[in-house]
Amino acid sequence: MNVLYFQRRHIPWEITLRLAQTDAHEYTEANTVAQINTRSRGVREEDNHDRWRRPERGWIKCNFDGSFVNGDVKSKAGWVVRDSNGSYLLAGQAIGRKVDNALESEIQALIISMQHCWSHGYKRVCFEGDNKMLFDLINGSKVYFGVHNWIRDIHWWLRKFESIHFNWIRRHHNTPADILAKAPLQNQSLFLNHFWVPNVITYALHCDYTADL
């Protein structure tokens, strides 16, 4: 109905009714997604603040992070995927588009990591990051219309997984993803899939693994 309110145009009643029905459908759909997300796919703030923890059996965990400098520099993303034994599966780096703030950088990093995990066929994934505001927006406990379309993209992608969780973790326990997000990409690439463990995160991965034994 924005076309009516903001453009102040005269529109025949048949079109007005159709626009209203479309808006009602979108509103219902958005609330349904939010309810599903909150009930079975919500953000979990477990007792994970003291260290990184491996996911439950049958799940994988994807730690992600974004790197934001300013609005004139393209945002970067880094993520690391590990299994329920704490073993490394893969990692990735990407250069995204220019964004306005650190929150948008984190959201972009999450979406890219979701796409990467989905492309590898992972069905049950715990996505873990260090921006609490992002997870509050995902589960609907907070609203910020500046990133509304970003959040809708996340909801669209989460429906492609069999099961999904979002965990918030303190920044100093998200070190491997943080390192990758800030590290330069080789050969001026826009996207890197690390089948082997990147040297820059070897020690950080070792610390996570031994801390959760």
pLDDT digit string, tens, across residues 20-37: 555 555 544 444 444 444
Q: Is pLDDT at 10 greater than 70 in this prediction? A: no
Q: Do 85 and 8 have their domain in common?
A: no
Q: Do 135 and 170 have their domain in common?
A: yes
Tell me the residue range of the domain where 186 lies: 46-211
Q: Do 154 and 184 have their domain in common?
A: yes
Q: What are the CB-based long-range contacts (under 8 Å, 24+) for 107-110?
A: 107/66, 107/134, 107/147, 107/150, 107/151, 107/154, 108/66, 108/75, 108/77, 108/150, 109/64, 109/65, 109/66, 109/75, 109/77, 109/78, 109/79, 109/181, 110/64, 110/134, 110/154
Confidence class for position 213, pLDDT limits 50, 70, 90: confident
Q: Do 28 and 86 have their domain in common?
A: no
Q: Is pLDDT at 204 greater than 80 in this prediction? A: yes
List strand residue ranges (DSSP E) for 57-175, in order.
Answer: 60-67, 74-82, 88-98, 124-129, 163-168
Average pLDDT score over the chain = 85
Q: Do 80 and 20 have their domain in common?
A: no
CATH assignment of the domain containing 189: 3.30.420.10
Q: Do 32 and 102 have their domain in common?
A: no
Q: Do 32 and 72 have their domain in common?
A: no
Q: Do 17 and 67 have their domain in common?
A: no
pTM of this prediction?
A: 0.79
Our count of domains for the chain comes to 2
DSSP state of 86: S
pLDDT at 88: 99
Q: Do 161 and 203 have their domain in common?
A: yes
Q: What are phi and psi of 187, to 5 degrees?
A: 55, 30
Span 93-135, pLDDT tens digits: 999 999 999 999 999 999 999 999 999 999 999 999 999 999 9
pLDDT at 13: 56
Q: Do 6 and 63 have their domain in common?
A: no
Q: What percent of the chain has pLDDT over 90?
A: 74
Q: Do 86 and 63 have their domain in common?
A: yes
**d(C-alpha 207, C-alpha 203), whole Å:** 6
Span 141-192, pLDDT tens digits: 999 999 999 999 999 999 999 999 999 999 999 999 999 999 999 888 999 9
Q: Do 155 and 66 have their domain in common?
A: yes
